[in-house]
Chains A and B, each alone.
Chain A
Amino acid sequence: MSQFTINLLFVGASFALYFGIAFWARAGSTKEFYVAGGGVHPVLNGMATAADWMSAASFISMAGLIAAGGYANSTFLMGWTGGYVLLAMLLAPYLRKFGKYTVPDFIGDRFYSRTARLVAVACLIIASVTYVIGQMTGAGVAFSRFLEVENDTGLMIAAVVVFFYAVLGGMKGITYTQVAQYVVLIIAYTIPAVFISLQLTDTFIPAIGLFSNHTESGMPLLQKLDEVVRELGFQDYTADVDNKLNMVLFTLSLMIGTAGLPHVIIRFFTVPKVADARWSAGWALVFIALLYLTAPAVASMARLNLLSTIYPDGPTSQPIEYAERPDWIKNWETTGLIKFEDKNADGRIELYNDTPAFKAEATARGWKGNELVVNRDILVLANPEIANLPSWVIGLIAAGGLAAALSTAAGLLLAISSAISHDLIKGTINPNISDKGELLAARMAMFVAIVVATYLGLNPPGFAAQVVALAFGIAAASIFPALMMGIFSKRVNSKGAVAGMLAGLISTLVYIFLFLGWLFIPGTASFANTPDNWLFGISPLSFGAIGAVINFSVAFLVSSMTEAPPKAIQDLVESVRYPQGAGKAVDH
């Protein structure tokens, strides 16, 4: 059987499964559409949350980021898991007790203000739309590589699939497909990792293999990797970071942003009880950790594997000849994600870090520049090929990558559509809309959101990479602090909350735009995006945490100068703090 047939088989079977589940779990009411009827088991919700959360970025890009950055990029591992601790203790149980359908619902009610609700809707839509673009393009890449269709065709297929089960099933359909998608993606991620760990370290569990001895050299794996990259002019894999302040703030921004992302928060509205919301956060973290503990092992092992493929006799000997390159390099060259240029015309692939510090050594070896450019994102997808794994593993990776992209896209689209149908239409424009009417509006909003996301995926704005930073920045600087203050303070009033959200949002946007271009238009950046220009060495990507501090400070300051919230609101705060009497999600 050809690789193409195998890929088709794996992807086709997984899609048939998702369709089957979607048909079985159709939504009949708004409550089912928004919160899956409020009866999802906490372990299942944990699994769905994990799939909801782990996007194309986690599945495809993260290991590549860590492989390239080594210790310095551990920030992603900690940042994208540590947020769940905040979510579990500071938000999820209380928002579950509040018992409504959306994040702006809580902000609007708690701060008794239509303005607050609308600001929350705006933040939610900007954060979610920017995020969904990445998922659609990720799905497009996976389709085009594994099913040999055009990138755009791949994206259209992804859109149709998501459309089918998200519009039909709402949160109910999404929840159960996400559970299935989690199973697919975790198997797809783990199996190649186990194989590679066995090959390199004779250790079955990748997370332990990472700290074991490299079988071939007998040295600890990480020491071996440090040695190899050093020989080629790269920084040590385990090297420490000088700018600790920025590392701390970046990790903190990712954590707060994670806890403030609406599509994750609304998953906790689907469990029956407050106690379940607490357990569910723990289970979500366990299921996420299965991938996140494996990712750093995949990263270091793949980097070592890649370098030993290019330098079969070690980095101090000659690299391989281009004519004798392995098939996986040829495969990925056709996608343009691996590029080779024989700068010194010796027919060999010289891969090294072309920096001034390494110049002398490179010249001595007759090298005239780095000749192989490998896109970081292909690392996980190409991993099975690099390690010569059987072709069914490659089919599995294809299905897994698509599961990761589609599950997150569906979750985001639901967050967007519920904000439009529930908060904008029912909450603001037409409060008397019937349940049937609202359900129809929700489905139409979902349809429009998919069309917009597909359009943006087909014509990606040139700043696709930066916008993810924007999503986290906005969630960290606007949504998280507003929710937390709404629960933990009875004194913060509507004026304080609105002022705080706007201050956090605007300061973060301005700081990002200063360095990355106003509205990300190339060439409009006020300062070059280099550490020398950053305020106190804080990168634009790390500013979300500062934005959150600004939000908190402004909100408390403004609230303290204005009147206390009405008694009814103080009672509402009181009621979300105690689990008693939560019952099922309020019907309204």
Chain B
Amino acid sequence: MSDQNLNAQQYWQANLRLILGCLVVWALASYGCAILFRPLLSGIHIGGTDLGFWFAQQGSILVFIILTFFYAWRMNKLDEKFGLEE
């Protein structure tokens, strides 16, 4: 296998790891905090209701925004590092 191929493969593996990490956070914020773990978080009060409600109507959306920008930033760095940018 040539260096270039190896390089490309490492790049793709790094991308997959990054996606996996981001999707874990994505799922934890929405399906976790906002839905499944809401009863567990009911002790944490916020503005007249509980943390789970806040995650369902505000928090998860904020997490989604941070994730997409984080991913774009990390990937554009990876492109540079592996010399694959346009």
Chain A interface residues (CB < 8 Å from chain B): 66, 71, 74, 77-78, 81-82, 84-85, 88-90, 93, 207, 210-213, 219-224, 238, 240-241, 244, 247-248, 251-252, 273-275, 278-279, 281-282, 285-286, 289, 292-293, 296, 574, 577-583
Contacts and interface: CB of A to CB of B under 8 A. Distances in A.
Interface SS majority for chain B: helix
B30 A251 contact: yes
A240 B55 CA distance: 13
Nearest to A296: B57
B27 to A, nearest CB: 9
Given A240-B38, A285-B64, A222 B86 contact: no
Given A212-B47, A220-B49, A282-B69, A82 B54 contact: no
Interface string B57-77: 110111011011101100110
Given A219-B48, A580-B86, 8 more contacts: A77-B56, A211-B49, A247-B35, A275-B86, A278-B71, A281-B68, A285-B64, A574-B8
A221 B61 contact: no
A308 B23 CA distance: 42
B50 to A, nearest CB: 8
B34 A78 contact: yes
Nearest to B7: A578
A275 B85 contact: yes
Interface of B: 8, 11-12, 15, 19, 22-23, 26, 30-31, 34-36, 38-39, 46-50, 52-54, 56-58, 60-62, 64-65, 67-69, 71-72, 75-76, 79, 83-86
Interface SS majority for chain A: helix
Contacts of A222: 47-49, 53
Given A281-B68, A282-B65, A282-B72, A77 B57 contact: yes
Contacts of A211: 46-49, 54
A85 B76 contact: no
Contacts of B75: 93, 275, 278
A549 to B, nearest CB: 15
B61 A579 contact: no
B38 A581 contact: no
A285 B72 CA distance: 13
12 contacts: A78-B34, A78-B61, A82-B26, A88-B71, A88-B72, A89-B68, A211-B48, A220-B47, A274-B79, A281-B68, A289-B65, A293-B62
A74 B56 contact: yes
Contacts of A579: 79, 84-86
Q: Give the top 4 A-B pairs by smallest Cβ distance, nearest first.
A: A220-B48, A211-B47, A74-B56, A278-B72
Contact of B68 (A85, A213, A293): A85
* Most A CB within 10 A of own CB, among B11, B36, B58: B58
Contacts of B30: 78, 82, 251
A577 B14 CA distance: 12
A66 B57 CA distance: 10
A52 B70 CA distance: 24
A320 B56 CA distance: 35
Contacts of A77: 56-57, 60-61
A89 B56 contact: no
Given A223-B49, A281-B72, A71 B56 contact: yes
Nearest to A288: B61
Given A211-B49, A275-B79, A289-B65, A244 B84 contact: no
A355 B68 CA distance: 44
Contact of B61 (A289, A577, A583): A289
Nearest to A66: B57
A582 B84 CA distance: 10
B8 to A, nearest CB: 6
